[in-house]
Amino acid sequence: MASAEDTVQRIGRYEIVRKIATGGMAELYLGRFTGPGGFEKRCALKRILPQFAADQTFQRMFQNEARVTAMFDHPNVVQVFELGQDDKGQFYIAMELVNGMNLRQLMQLARDTGQAIPPELAAFMMVQALDGLAYAHAFRDPDSGEPLHLVHRDISPQNILVSYEGAVKLVDFGIVKGSSISGETQAGMLKGKVAYMSPEQASGEPIDGRSDLFSIGVCFYELVTGHRPFQGANDIMTLKSILDDPPTPVTHYVPDLANGIEHA
């Protein structure tokens, strides 16, 4: 007969508490590591979805995310603890658990309760996100001291976490691009969530850290107004809007917005 210990679901050395979410490439779990004397450490476990587990491209992207983020040490970037493989050979990342929600969930909560996110609070959160982004953009190789020229390429509300204590942290560097990282992008291939892309990213041109700043601006606009600045009936039309359409002024949605925030 199997013992209770044998029936506990695990990813590597971590017990699975529950599934948190499933994304396009990976699934996220709440996990815990236990030790003597009642020791317990909870973390988030990210694992490649089974249908992509054997795909070498996804494996390299996943390993790049772990390798790059593990070097980071900043309060506004989620910390990575470990890259491992489970008993089926699927890669997983153990990372810092943020007790809170992402900006997409926060905006949905505001809509569901009929409340607006105060512009000052939106600005506070974006400043923290920018601090984390500036750290990543300026990051240097710990051994050589050479700048890595990292670009996140997927800044979006889903990838900005807010803890219940008010800490803001960037996550999901899975498609990060840098001078020392082997990228998987082919000519004309887009990576990232379409509605938050810069015009350069939307047109498939080479990008640098300024593209991430544009994406932060799109997130800020949506936080303050409740609307995306660039919208279309589908991804193609949204890309066209990014390239061709000026965004509606923020004050159209929030007439009494402070001048400093409007021009941020």
d(CA 190, CA 208): 14
Is the Cβ–Cβ distance between 20 and 29 less than 8 Å?
Answer: yes
* Helical axes 119-137 vs 209-225, angle rounded to 10°: 170
Is the Cβ–Cβ distance between 86 and 228 less than 8 Å?
Answer: no
Instruction: With H, G, I as helix, E, B as strand and everything else as coil, classify residue 69.
Output: helix
User: Interior CA angle at 232 toward 228 and 238, to 5°?
Assistant: 80
**Active-site residue identified among 141, 154, 172, 235:** 154
Among the listed residues 228, 97, 78, 105, the one whose alpha carbon sits nearest the alpha carbon of residue 168: 78
Instruction: Give the number of residues written for the chain.
Output: 264
d(CA 207, CA 212): 9
| CA 262 to each of CA 14, 129, 227: distance values in angstroms, whole numbers, following the listed order | 46, 18, 15
154 has catalytic annotation: yes
d(CA 148, CA 146): 6
Residues belonging to the active site: 154
